[in-house]
């Protein structure tokens, strides 16, 4: 009973984190089709877990993959911080940021394929299932970390919601009202990067969740007029959705095997995105 509760709680928190990451990246880039994946954040998580796996196998270390992945992620985080600090002109324009993110994702995909090939050619098992996240293996350590991040993210939203609400009307509009937009953007994207990477490192990739769920939430009557509501309550709805999908995967097995919730979220997410786009098209016509 404790295990299933722990699993569902982590599914809820992962949905919460991914949705918040999506909302933050869409708000700061002022682009509803922006997401942690297009900005390269998912790639950072995948690279961390890939590096962790490589180190674990190469040095025959017994430490958990999540822990090594987290250490590598912290090193990558520091490297990203230094690169951004040293190249302020490149990152001044969000368009460059998005292009770099897409390029980085392609780079990670290529690295993943190469490492995958090398491992398979040497007969070593490779975690290719990382591309379809699931909550089959959870731990109390993960739960503690996720709970800490959950409370920190609430504090962040509490502190920045008003500024983000003004930034929703344009960068210059918010600057005119005294918001230090570059700072809020960097902080929001930083939070988005951390939350997304932590989910990827612990449970793998959940495609479309960060992109689609904020758009679904934004199309609901209760959320559509208020960014503050979207930031406070939207992630809760998304957490419940991912929890529901995970419960479905847990209950319904196919030939005795559990369907990865990441696969289901990819199907559900892409279908939902098309529906939302059609609905908004109908409303605008």
Rule CB under 8 A: say whether 142 interacts with another protein: no
According to DSSP, residue 128 is labeled: G
Binding residues for another protein restricted to 64-103, rule: CB under 8 A? none
Rule CB under 8 A: say whether 127 interacts with another protein: no
Query: Any idea what the Cα angle at residue 124 is, between residues 118 and 125, rounded to 5°?
Result: 110
CB atoms within 10 A of CB 37: 24
Rule CB under 8 A: say whether 116 interacts with another protein: no
The residue among 165 and 246 lying less far from another protein, judged by its C-beta, is: 165
Euclidean distance between CA atoms 201 and 76, whole angstroms: 13
Rule CB under 8 A: say whether 11 interacts with another protein: no
The residue among 82 and 220 lying less far from another protein, judged by its C-beta, is: 220
Helix, strand, coil percentages for the chain (3-state, nearest 5): 80, 0, 20
CB atoms within 10 A of CB 110: 10
Least distance to another protein from the beta carbon of 156, Å? 19
For another protein (CB under 8 A), the number of binding residues is: 24
Residue 122 DSSP SS3: coil
Q: What is the DSSP string of 160-215?
A: HHHHHHHHTT-HHHHHHTT--HHHHHHHHHHHHHHHHHHHHHHH---TTHHHHHHH
Rule CB under 8 A: say whether 27 interacts with another protein: yes
- HSE at residue 71, side-chain half, CA atoms within 13 A, is 10
Rule CB under 8 A: say whether 223 interacts with another protein: yes
Q: Which residues contact 63 (CB under 8 A, 6 or more apart)?
A: 56
* From candidates 82, 99, 110, 169, binder to another protein by CB under 8 A: 169
Query: Any idea what the Cα angle at residue 207 is, between residues 48 and 220, rounded to 5°?
Result: 130
Rule CB under 8 A: say whether 176 interacts with another protein: yes
* From candidates 60, 155, 172, 254, binder to another protein by CB under 8 A: 172
Taking contact as CB under 8 A, which single stretch among the options 105-113, 126-134, 170-178, 254-262 is the one that binds another protein? Answer: 170-178
Strand 257-258 to strand 253-254: parallel, antiparallel, or no bridges (unpaired)? antiparallel
* From candidates 31, 64, 116, 270, binder to another protein by CB under 8 A: 31
Rule CB under 8 A: say whether 225 interacts with another protein: yes
The residue among 90 and 176 lying less far from another protein, judged by its C-beta, is: 176
Taking contact as CB under 8 A, which single stretch among the options 113-121, 134-142, 221-229, 258-266 is the one that binds another protein? Answer: 221-229
The residue among 66 and 165 lying less far from another protein, judged by its C-beta, is: 165
Binding site for another protein (CB under 8 A): 26-27, 30-32, 162, 165-166, 168-170, 172-173, 175-178, 218, 223-227, 230
């Amino acid at each position: 009973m404790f295990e299933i509760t722990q699993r569902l709680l982590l599914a809820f928190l992962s949905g919460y984190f991914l949705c918040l990451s999506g909302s933050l990246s869409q708000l700061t880039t002022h682009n509803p089709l922006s997401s942690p994946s297009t900005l390269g954040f998912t790639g950072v998580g995948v690279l961390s877990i890939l590096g962790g796996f490589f180190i674990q196998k190469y040095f025959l270390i017994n430490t958990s993959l999540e822990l090594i992945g987290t250490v590598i992620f912290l090193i990558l985080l520091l490297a990203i911080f230094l690169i951004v600090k040293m190249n302020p002109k490149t990152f001044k324009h969000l368009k460059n940021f998005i292009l770099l993110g897409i390029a980085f994702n392609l780079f990670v995909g290529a690295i993943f394929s190469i490492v995958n090939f090398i491992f398979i050619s040497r007969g070593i098992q490779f975690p290719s299932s990382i591309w379809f996240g699931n909550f089959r293996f959870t731990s109390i350590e993960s739960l503690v970390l996720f709970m800490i991040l959950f409370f920190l993210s609430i504090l962040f939203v509490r502190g920045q919601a008003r500024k983000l609400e003004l930034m929703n009307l344009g960068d210059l509009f918010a600057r005119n009202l005294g918001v230090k937009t570059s700072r809020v953007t960097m902080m929001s994207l930083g939070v988005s990067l951390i939350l997304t990477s932590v989910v990827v490192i612990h449970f793998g990739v959940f495609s479309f969740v960060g992109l689609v769920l904020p758009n679904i939430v934004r199309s609901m009557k209760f959320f559509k007029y208020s960014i503050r509501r979207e930031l406070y309550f939207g992630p809760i709805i998304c957490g419940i959705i991912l929890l529901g999908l995970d419960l479905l995967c847990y209950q319904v097995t196919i030939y005795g095997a559990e369907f990865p919730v990441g696969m289901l979220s990819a199907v559900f997410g892409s279908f939902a995105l098309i529906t939302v786009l059609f609905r908004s098209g109908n409303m605008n016509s």
